[in-house]
Chains A and B, each alone.
Chain A
Amino acid sequence: MTAAVEVSGLVVEYGLRAGILGRAAGSVRAVDGVSFAIESGRTLGLVGESGSGKTSVARAVLGIAPISAGTVRLRGTDVTHATGRARRGMRRHAQMVFQQPTTSLDPRRSVASSISEPLVHLMGLHGGALDRRVVELLGLVGLEAEHATRLPRQLSGGQRQRVAIARAIATSPALVVCDEPTSSLDVSVQAQIINLLVRLQGELGLTYLFISHDLGTVRQIADTVAVMHLGRIVESGPVATVLSAPADEYTRALMAAVPSIDRVRRRTAVPAEGTRA
């Protein structure tokens, strides 16, 4: 089985600037030697807190963060420093679903127009073939053909995220990076989106890099999980193993901090009788 994506020894550094002239003043290392691979058709959950470097890893894989060292391979092709035509070719193969569909979709573009964009620019589709593909994609993500002419503001949060997913899978990418795709949604809608992502993976053989701080969501969607802390992966392995018997101290701390309804506080204070009728 070939890996859809293979990252080795990845280092991402951002330059710091000082003073009103913006002189270079050293750099900060956001990702410090990260390696992982995701097999085709599988999901890697990347968890960690803000500042842990998980989003920088995703951006580096997509070619939109400065890579200081290490390599990124997509379906075996080294795209670490791809430019020009190679970069365009790579865009087709690595797509992203963002956290906020409200801001990741152009508010003045119709649903069909948003989904068409990658098809036109990266696949060269037009005319009837383009229209048919858009309708097909809407069907795949559980929307109707009638949604094609709507604007984002005419859709619910869950429907907007479905549009963003349709756009991301439009070019049949080797890798879909999902950056907290459910965290801005209501609880009752989150599960619908997770089920959609799982179904699409089964039908289309998609590979996901799924970034989340929510361990429950990661448990539901990921096959393997990598826990990031301060730019490094501190623990990784099959999701059931890592989340049921975390070996690393930081993973344990992270798990202990997650509020769970299974841990209802049984306080001695008994509520006043008949507080509400």
Chain B
Amino acid sequence: MIKVAPAGARERAQQAAALRTDGLVVEVPSAAGPRAVVRGISLTLERGQITALVGETGSGKTLTALALIGLLPPGVHRRVDRVTLGSDDISSFSVADMSRVRGRRISMIFQDPMTALNPVLAIGFQVEEPMRANLGLDARTAHERARALLEQLRLPDVDRTLRRYPHELSGGMRQRVLIAIALACDPQVLLADEPTTALDVTVQSQILELLREQVDRRGLAVLLVTHDLGVAAQVAERIDVMYGGAIVESGAVEDVLTAPTHPYTRGLVGCIPRVDVRLRPLPTLPGSAQGVWDVRAGCRFAPRCAHAIDKCRVDDPALEPVGEGHAAACWVFAPPARS
């Protein structure tokens, strides 16, 4: 049974959020029937903020993003108590309804810009197409807007870039083009799935700065899916840590990273190799994530947890507040307040 947090606290943040979801479940088919790989999570994306969704392979972070924008692979289904985009409830939107929203009000960028771009179409066409299709702009207006957008994203020699093809651009330039396409129709929400993972660190840092700049300038709400806590620390306001299909810790970046509460978050923070000091041996998290097929009862992290008690192996903990705007799902370190 999925536990949801008390309703009162959630209602308060109602107005401002660009995107909210409650009780999001994603199920994938298996021989033994559908398995929930995202298990009833709640997310809130605020205008002008970057929320980092951090997790390892198989934690369900990418499926969460795909479920929000309605791009789940065939056979994979979502159930949700509620999704709101601005003031609109889009929980029951059909595929056709979603395709009218996607690109216009909510858009997404992916890890590998080479596969996300069409190799046989010029950059200009690909940036202008969503403006013409979604906003009905004529060719000249779309072209002017595309020029302005690429300039904002500091692509060099904009007129020439618009005529070039994806293979003629560097990885960093391609990712900027992808961001331009995602922002072409001025959406309120951007989902970014590991947008800098394929890039060198110096280019990564430029792209993150650009993203930050666009967020501040447009009041954009961003969900940044990443496995890298360093990336989250650099640009995000909030972090949601996912493990085994659930959010195990959530809060402001400085709270989660300087005072991690959940043993998984603490382990993750502890085992990042540090540049300033050599540790022998490096602290580790024992074992590895069981991935999406883990169906055991109780806390999914319990088998790797040094602090697990009997209750952890039986009951799944829900997020409980551990500080202002900071919550963790752990029987040991975030026990529910006695009522």
Contacts and interface: CB of A to CB of B under 8 A. Distances in A.
B325 A215 contact: no
Interface residues of A, number: 50
A219 B278 contact: yes
B321 interface: yes
A243 B275 contact: yes
A265 B325 contact: no
A257 B274 contact: no
Interface stretch (A77-85, A145-153, A269-277): A269-277
Nearest to A186: B56
Interface in A229-274: 239-240, 243-244, 253-267, 269, 271-274
Given A216-B274, A276-B42, A188 B325 contact: no
A217 interface: yes
B230 interface: yes
A186 B290 CA distance: 12
Contact of A274 (B12, B228, B238): B12
A261 B42 contact: no
B66 interface: no
Interface stretch (B28-36, B107-115, B183-191, B280-288): B280-288
B48 interface: yes
Given A216-B275, A219-B278, A220-B278, A260 B230 contact: yes
Interface in B1-51: 5-6, 8-10, 12-13, 16-17, 42, 44, 46, 48-49
A60 to B, nearest CB: 22
B257 A264 contact: yes
Contacts of B231: 259
Interface in B55-89: 56-57
Given A186-B57, A219-B273, A276-B319, A265 B253 contact: yes
B-side interface size class:
35 or more
A250 B272 CA distance: 24
B201 interface: yes
A194 B13 CA distance: 43
Interface stretch (B142-150, B157-165, B202-210, B292-300): B202-210
Nearest to B208: A259
B281 A195 contact: yes
Contact of B282 (A157, A215, A220): A220
Contacts of A199: 281
Interface stretch (B98-106, B129-137, B263-271, B308-316): B263-271
Contacts of B229: 187, 261
A214 interface: yes
